[in-house]
Structure 1
Amino acid sequence: MNRPLPQYVNRDLSWIEFNRRVLQEAQDGTNPLLERAKFLSIVSSNLDEFMSVRMAGIQAQMKAGYTKKDFTGYTPAGLWKRLIKRTSDMVHDQYKTFREVMRSLAKEGICFRDLSELNATQTKAVDDYFYDIVFPVLTPMAVDQSRPFPLLHTKELYLAVLLDKDDMPPDDEPFFAIVQVPSILQRFVAVPVRNGSKKMEFVLLEELIERHINTLFNGYTPIAVHPFRLTRNADLTLNEEGAEDLLEEIEKELRRRRWGIPVRVEYDKGMHPYALQLLKEELELDDNMFEIDGPLDLSFLMRFAGSLPGYDALRYERIEPVYPKEFEHSDDMFAVLRQQDVLCYHPYESFEAVNDFVTDAAHDPDVLAIKMTLYRVSGQSALVQALAMAAEAGKQVTVVVELKARFDEERNIAWARQLEKAGCHVVYGLVGLKTHAKILLVVRREQQMLRRYVHVGTGNYNDNTAKLYTDVGLFTSHPVIGADASALFNEITGYSSPYEWKAFGVAPTDLMDKLFGLIDREKAHAAEGKPARIVAKMNSLSNQEMIDKLYEASQAGVQIELIVRGVCCLRPGVPGRSENIRVVSIVDRFLEHSRIMIFHNGGDEEVYLSSADWMTRNLTRRIELLCPVFDPNLRKVMRNIIEMNLQDNVKSSELTPNGTYLRQKDESQPLRSQFAAKDIARWKNYR
C-alpha cells in the first residue's frame, strides 16, 4: 500500500533540487562550453551561501537542543543528515561534470596543466611569476605550543602543510603549518604559449605555491601539502532595538562574522590523515567534511570563463539591451509619462532608462523631491551619483538604504555615508524589518500643482544585475499610485498612522491579506461556475499559510499556474488537494527574478508586479510592495511575458507530486522563453 504524500516539500530539500537544476545547465551539452563552466561556478557560490546561512541555522538549532519538527515534518537533526547526503551527492556530480567540461575545453585549446607537463620555457615563466608576484604576499603560519591555531577566514583557500626535520625522532608527530592562498591574486595563472601552438594554457595558483612550498620553510622538509577551505556561519545577529546607531552596530557584526562558528570544511582528496584529524579537532567538525576530487571552490570559473579573449563561439550570443521605445524619441521623460505608463522588461530593455529618470530629475529645476529605496546597488552606481547631485542642487532627497542586505552590508554602508555627505536624508528603515520594496518617487511642480512620478520594480536598483536578471519595472504618473507611494515613504521615514492603501499591498501590514482576498475572489468565481485562474511568478514559495490558501483554491476548482524558480514547498498535482495546481521552474542564461501575479477576476483581469516572494520573511518581516498595473496595454505585455514563460519547453522543469522536477522537452516545436524574449515585438505587441 502506498503511503500518502506529505502535504509540503521541505524548504531546504527543495533548495537542493533548485541547485541541481543549475548543475543540469552545466551538464547540458547544448549550452556553450564557457557558459557551462559559469554554471559550475554558480553551483559553488550557491552552495557557499546555503552552507553559511541555512545549514548554519540548522547547526545552531541542534547545538541548542532543539528537537521540534518544522511544518514539513523534519527535526533539525533529521534534516541535517538528509542535507549532508544530498549535498555530498551533488558535489560529486558537480566535479564529475567539471572534469567533462575541462576535457571539452582542452579540445578547444583551453587547458589547465599539471606543472610537470610544462616545458622548460613555461616552467621558468611560472617560477618567475611565483618569485616576483606570489612569494612576497605569502605568510606561513606555524602551529605549535607558542603559536596557536590561526583564525581561518571564511571561504578562503588555505594549504595545510606537514613538515619533517632531519633531527626529528622517527615517532614524533610532524610539524604543522598553514599558508593562505592569496585571494587578491587570480586562481588561474596563464603560461606562455608553446611554439607553434594556439592553445591557451593555465596552472592553478595553489599548485604553483605547493611546488615552491619549501621556500617558506627553510631547514624543514615538506611531507604533505593539501588545500582546504572553511565555511563559517555568516548570519548577522543584530540587537536593533538596543542599538544607538544601526550603522555602527552592523559594522561591529560584520567584524564578528569573521569569527562565525565553522559549518563546513572542504579538503583535497587524499589529505594526510594527521592534517585532517587536526583540522577536525580544531574546528570541531565531523560530519560536514567534504573530500573534493578536484580544485576546491569552483567559483573562480566565473571570472576565468569571462576573461578569455577570442572565444565568443563558446559563449552565449551577446544581447544588447534596447532603450525603451516609448522614451527613445523624447528628451522629456516626464512628458511621456503624463501621456502613458511605460513598462521595462530587463535585461532585454536597458536599465539606462531608470538612470536617466533620476538624472533628469536631478537636473530639472521643477523637481522638488526625490525619494527611493536602495537594497543592492552596483559598485559604480550612476543612481547614487545622480541622487548626490540632486541633493547638492538643493532638492529634498530621501534615500532608504537597507544596511542588512545579506553580503552587501559593507557596500551599502559606504553608499549611505557618501549620500549623507552629499546632503541626502539617509534612512535605515524600520527596526526589525528589512526594506525590500523597490520604489522611486519624483515630486515635480507643474502649473501651480504638484505631480508625482513613480517607478516600481521587481528587481534591485542595480545596473549590473539588470543585465543578468529578468525583472520588470513600471514607470507611471497615475495619481493613485503616486499617493500610495508618498504614504509609503512617510510610513518608513516618519511617524504615520496606518494608511488605507488605494492601490498597493504593503508587507508586513496587509500584503498577505490582500493576496488572500484576491485568491478568495477566484474561489468565489469558481464556486459560481465561472472561469477562475491564478498565474503567479516568483523566486520562492515557502509560507505555509499561503500554500494552504492555494490548496483551498485548487480544491474549489481554481486553475493555478505557478512559475517558481527556486524553493517551492507546495506539492502540486495531488488528487483531492492540489490537482489544479501546476508548478514550473525556468533555469537558463538569466536569473529569473521578476514577481508577477495575474488574477482572472471573472474576465476583468488584474495584473500586479511585486518585490515580494511568497515566503514568511517577505510577507511578515520585510517592507514589501505589490503594485497594480492599471494600463490595459501594459497588462497585456505582462500577460505575454508570463505566457511565454509557461510555454517554455526547452529550459522549463515541472515539479512532480513526489518533489522532483522533470524537464519539459519538445524537440518538434521548441520554445526557449529567454531567447524568444529577445524579439521584443513578441511580447510588447499591444499596438
Structure 2
Amino acid sequence: MNKTLPHYVNRDLSWIAFNRRVLEEAQDPGTPLLERVKFLSIVSSNLDEFMSVRMAGIQDQMKAGYTKKDFTGYTPAGLWKRLIKRTAQAVTDQYRTFREVMRCLSKEGISFRKPDELNAAQMKAIDRYFNEIVFPVLTPMAVDQSRPFPLLHTKELYLAVLLRKDHQPPEEEPLFAIVQVPSILQRYVAVPVRTGSKKMEFVLLEQLIERHIDKLFNGYAPIAVHPFRVTRNADLTLNEEGAEDLLEEIEKELRRRRWGMPVRLEYAKNMHPYALQLLKEELELDENSIEIDGPFDLSFLMRWASSLQGHDNLRFDRMEPVYPYEFEDTEDMFEVLRQQDVLLSHPYESFDAVNDFVTDAANDPDVLAIKMTLYRVSGHSALVQALATAAEAGKQVTVVVELKARFDEERNIAWARQLEKAGCHVVYGLVGLKTHAKILLVVRREQEVLRRYVHVGTGNYNDNTAKLYTDFGLFTSHPVIGADASALFNEVTGYSAPYEWKAFGVAPTGLMEKLFGLIDREKENAAAGKPALIIAKMNSLSNQEMIDKLYEASQAGVKIELIVRGVCCLRPGVPGRSENIRVISVVDRYLEHSRVMVFHNGGDEEVFLSSADWMTRNLTRRIELMCPVLDPKLRKMLVNMLQLGLNDNVKARELQPNGTYVPVSNGLSPLRSQMEAKKIPKWKKLSVVGQ
C-alpha cells in the first residue's frame, strides 16, 4: 500500500497540519489556561499570514490561468479548494476550543460578558467609556449611489450595519453602512466589579459599539449589525533593478499593500443574508468566505492574556534566562573569546550577552570596525543604539538591513534611517536576494595585529524573540571563520570576485552543493559498510532536490533523523524510498527555531549552525549562511541537544508515511525536551557536556 503513496507532501497542506499542532497545544488540558489562550492567538496570527501570502499566491496563479501541477501533484485550483475546506474546518475547531477555554476561565473568575448581561452600575461605566473614548473616533460610512463602497483595510475589523428610515416600507431594500472598529483602541474593555471581588470581566469593543450603533445614525433604525473582516494579498512586488531608491520603493509598496486583492472574507454567524451577499459581490469572494462563531481575530488574546494581573497559577512557570557563565566573571569578553569559543542557547541563556558584546565593541578604542546583518529587530533594540554609538565614535560601522523582511518592513526602514543619521554605512543587500544570514563581525587591533571576532546565529538579532524562540549563537575568534566572515561582508556590500569559502557554506551560490557533498559522503560511508548518520533540525523542508537527495541517502542505508517544526514535504518511512528516515515535529512553550546539522563522517562528526531552512527560497533566493562548530566540546553539546529533541515523547509528533502526525509513544519515561533543555546552563557550568 505504501508504494502507491505520492513521493511528496504538499507544502501548504503540510502547513495546515503544522497550525493544527499549534491548536493542539490550546486544546491540551495540561497546558495552563492563559497559555492555551495564547496558543489560540498564535493560530489566528499564523492563519492570517498564510492567507495573505500563500493563499494570495495561489489566487494569483488561478487568475493568471496557470493550470500546471506542482511537484506534489496539485494544480492551483485543486489545491485552493482543498485548502479552503481544511482551513474552514480548522477555524471551526479553533472556536470550539475557544469556547471551552473561556468556560474554564469563567470558573476562575475571568470572563467576557455581553453588555446586556451587566448590572446597572457596570452598564453606566462602559457607556461612559463609549461616550468619552470610543464615540469620538468612530466614522460611519454610508454606501449608496453618491458614496461608493469604501476601501476596506486588510485585517481590520468592521461592522456591517443595515438601516431603515423612519416609516420606510419593509419590502424596500435596507440601507447599508460600514463602521470600522478602531484598531487604535484595545479590543477589550475592562468592566468594573464590586470592591473586594477577584473577578475580572471584559466587554468586546465591537459589542460596545453595536450597543450604541443608533447614535451614529440619527433618524434611522438599525435592523442588523454584524462584524466582518477582509484579508488582502500582502506580498510585495518590487522592481528592485528599476528602483532608484529601494527604501522609497518599499515604502510605496507598503502603502499599496493596504488595498491588495481580497483573499478571504470572515463574517459573523447568522449574518443578515442581504449584507453578506453585498459583501461577497463587492469583494468578489464567494469561495473563501468563512463563518465565524465568536470574536473575530483571536490574535488580540495574546495581549489580553498578558495584561491580566496575577493568576500565575494559570501560566507557565516563570523562566528567567541566565547570563552565560563564560562571561559572568569578566570585564573583557574579547579575552574570553581569545581562549575559547562560546555557544549560547536561547531562551535558556540571555541575549544580553550579545547586546553587551556589541556595546563593549562600540566603546572599545581598539575596535576599528563592526559589521552585522539585521533581519528582524526588536522595537527598542540595544544593538541599534550601540551601532549608532560606535559610528558616532568614528568606527567603521556597516549594517546590512533587510528591508524586505515580511511584515517588518516599516520597522526596518525606521532603523535604517536612524543608523544612517548616526553615520553607519547602511546597505540593503543584493538585488533580488533577501539577506537572511545572521552574522556579526568585530575587527580589533591587538598588539599591532588585527583580530576578528565573529558571532553567528540561527535566529535574528532580536532580544524579544530571543526570549520566545529556541536558537543558538556561536562566538568565535577562529581566524578561518573570521576570514570567511570578512569575505561575506565584502560580497554583500561591494564588488568582489567569487570567494572560495574555507569554512562557510553560503547561499545562493554554494550552500546546496556543500550540503549535497556532505550527504554524498554519508552515502559513500554507508556503501562501504561504515556507520552513516545525518541529524538535522530546521523549521521547514520543502525543496524537491534536497528531498530527493535525502531519499537517495536513505536508499543507500544512511540513517536520517530530522526535527522539522513546520512544513515538511518529505514522506518518511516509505519502504524502498525513505524507510531509514524519521521526521518529528516539536511544538511546545517556545517556538523551535534553530537550524543545526550533524554529519557522522565516519565518527569524526561535523556539526553546523545555519540561518537556512531547506526550502527553495533559502537555498536559491536568499543570502544564507552555514557555519561549522569547530570546538569538539561544543559539537558534543549540540549533538546532545538534538538527541533531546529526538527523544521527546511529550510534545513531539512523528510524521507518518501518509502525511499525518501522531504523538510519539515509545513506552519510555516522559521526556519533554524544552524542559530538559532548561538545564543547559548548569550542564555548561559543570562541564558535563563533552566529558
Structure 1 length normalisation: TM-score? 0.99
Residue 196 of structure 1 and its aligned partner are, at CA, apart by 5.4
The one-letter amino acid paired with 1:67 is: T
Residue type of the partner of 2:465? T
Structure 1 unaligned segments of length 5 or more: list them.
Answer: none
Cα distance between partner residues in 2 of 1:682 and 1:637: 12
Shift of 1:264: 0.2
Using the TM superposition, name which of 633-642 and 4-13 deviates more: 633-642
User: Within 1, Cα distance between the matches of 2:478 and 2:471?
Assistant: 21
Q: Who is 1:583 aligned against?
A: 583
- 2:324–2:681 contact (8 Å) kept in structure 1: no
Report the CA distance shift for 1:174/1:34 in structure 2 as closer, same or farther (over 3 A): same
The residue aligned with 1:63 is 63
Q: After superposition, what is the alpha-carbon deviation per residue over 1:93-125, rounded to whole angstroms, capped at 9, x for unaligned?
A: 000000000000000110111111111111100
Summarize the alignment of residues 398-477 of structure 1 with structure 2, pairs less than 5 Å apart.
398-477=398-477
SS in 1 for 2:45: helix
Alignment RMSD (CA, Å): 1.0
Q: Counterparts of 1:335-374 in structure 2 under 5 Å?
A: 335-374=335-374
Aligned partners of 1:650 and 1:666 also within 8 Å: no
What is the Cα deviation at residue 683 of structure 1?
5.2
What SS does structure 2 have at the residue aligned with 1:264? Answer: strand
Tell me the secondary structure at the aligned position of residue 541 of structure 1.
coil
Contact 1:585–1:652 (Cα < 8 Å) also in 2: yes
Cα pair 1:231 1:265 within 8 Å, conserved: yes
Q: Which residue of 2 aligns with 1:17?
A: 17
**2:542 match: secondary structure:** coil
Which residue matches 2:155?
155
**Which amino acid in 2 is paired with 1:323?**
Y
C-alpha distance in structure 1 between counterparts of 2:174 and 2:3, whole Å? 55
Q: Is the 8 A contact 1:641 1:683 kept in 2?
A: no
Is residue 258 of structure 2 the alignment partner of residue 258 of structure 1? yes
CA distance in 1, matches of 2:356, 2:199: 44
Q: Matched residue of 1:252: which SS?
A: helix
2:526/2:557 contact within 8 Å kept: yes
Tell me what 2:124 maps to.
124
Task: Please tell me the residue identity of whatever aligns with 2:495.
Answer: Y
Q: Is the 8 A contact 2:110 2:201 kept in 1?
A: yes
Aligned-pair CA distance for 1:156: 0.4
Which residue pairs with 2:605 in the alignment?
Answer: 605
State the alpha-carbon separation in 1 of the partners of residues 142 and 175 from structure 2: 8
Residue 167 of structure 1 deviates from its aligned partner by 3.3
Return the alpha-carbon distance in structure 2 between the equivalents of residues 3 and 462 of structure 1: 45
* 2:519 maps to 1:519: yes
1:560-579 → structure 2 map (5 Å cutoff): 560-579=560-579
Asked if the contact 1:161–1:224 (Cα under 8 Å) also holds between the matched residues in 2, the reply is: yes
- Contact (CA 8 Å) 1:188, 1:202: kept in 2 or not? yes
Aligned to 2:4: 4
> How many angstroms does 1:197 deviate by?
3.1
Amino acid at match of 1:481: I
Question: Where in structure 2 are the equivalents of 1:109-258 lying within 5 Å?
Answer: 109-194=109-194, 197-258=197-258
Partner of 1:131, secondary structure, is helix
Give 1:194 deviation, angstroms.
Answer: 3.1
CA distance in 2, matches of 1:380, 1:170: 57
After superposition, give the CA deviation of every residue in 1:511-553 in whole Å (9 maximum; x if it has no partner): 0000000000000000000000000000000000000000000
Deviations 1:220-246 (A, max 9, x none): 000000000000000000000111111
AA matched with 2:33: L
Contact (CA 8 Å) 1:637, 1:683: kept in 2 or not? no
Q: Give the conservation status (yes or no) of the 8 Å contact 2:3–2:575.
A: no
Letter in 1 for 2:574: V
In the TM superposition, residue 382 of structure 1 has moved relative to its aligned partner by 0.2
**Alignment match, 1:530:** 530
Paired amino acid for 2:101:
V
Q: How far apart are residue 679 of structure 1 and its match?
A: 1.3
Q: AA paired with 2:164? A: D
Deviation per CA, 1:321-376, whole angstroms, max 9, x where unpaired? 00111011110000000000000000000000000010000000000000000000
Deviation, 1:680, is 2.0
Q: Report if aligned partners of 2:2, 2:657 keep a CA contact under 8 Å in 1.
A: no
Q: Quick one: distance in 2 between partners of 1:666 and 1:520?
A: 31
Q: What SS is found at the alignment partner of 1:413?
A: helix
- In 2 relative to 1, CA 479–608 (structure 1 residues): closer, same or farther, beyond 3 Å? same
Look up the SS of the partner of 1:240 in the other structure. coil
Aligned to 2:310: 310
User: Residues of 1 paired with 2:351 and 2:221: CA distance?
Assistant: 57
CA spacing shift, 1:3–1:532, aligned 2, 3 Å: closer
Q: Structure 1 258/106 Cα, relative in aligned 2: closer, same or farther at 3 Å?
A: same
What is the CA-CA distance between 1:195 and the residue it aligns to? 5.3
Q: Contact conserved, 1:640 with 1:683, CA < 8 A, in 2?
A: no
Secondary structure in 2 matching 1:279: helix
Question: Any conservation in 2 of the 1:163–1:220 contact (CA below 8 Å)?
Answer: yes
SS in structure 1 at match of 2:153: coil
**Displacement after TM superposition at 1:664 (Å):** 1.4
Q: SS at 1:567's partner residue?
A: coil
Is the contact made by 2:469 and 2:590 (CA closer than 8 Å) also made in structure 1?
Answer: yes
Asked whether the 8 Å contact 1:234–1:257 carries over to 2, the reply is: yes
Match of 1:661 in 2: 661
Q: Is the contact made by 2:2 and 2:574 (CA closer than 8 Å) also made in structure 1?
A: no
CA offsets 1:9-43 (integer angstroms, 9 cap, x no match): 00000000000000000000000000000000000
Aligned partner of 2:95 in structure 1 is: 95
Q: Is the 8 A contact 1:557 1:580 kept in 2?
A: yes
Displacement, 1:676?
A: 1.0
Query: Letter of the aligned partner of 1:561 in structure 2?
Result: E
Superposed, which structure 2 residues align to 1:34-53 within 5 Å? Answer: 34-53=34-53
Kindly indicate whether the alpha-carbon contact (under 8 Å) linking 1:532 and 1:557 is maintained by their aligned counterparts in 2: yes
Please give the alpha-carbon distance, in whole angstroms, between the structure 2 residues aligned to 1:345 and 1:148.
Answer: 55
How big is the shift at 1:557?
0.2
Aligned mates of 1:631, 1:163 — CA distance in 2 = 72
DSSP-derived class of the 1:585 partner: strand
Q: Distance in 1 between matches of 2:59 and 2:682?
A: 48
CA distance in 2, matches of 1:357, 1:196: 49
Query: Distance in 2 between the 1:80 and 1:311 partners?
Result: 43
1:188, distance to aligned residue in structure 2 (A): 1.0
Q: Retained in 2: the 8 A contact 1:384–1:419?
A: yes
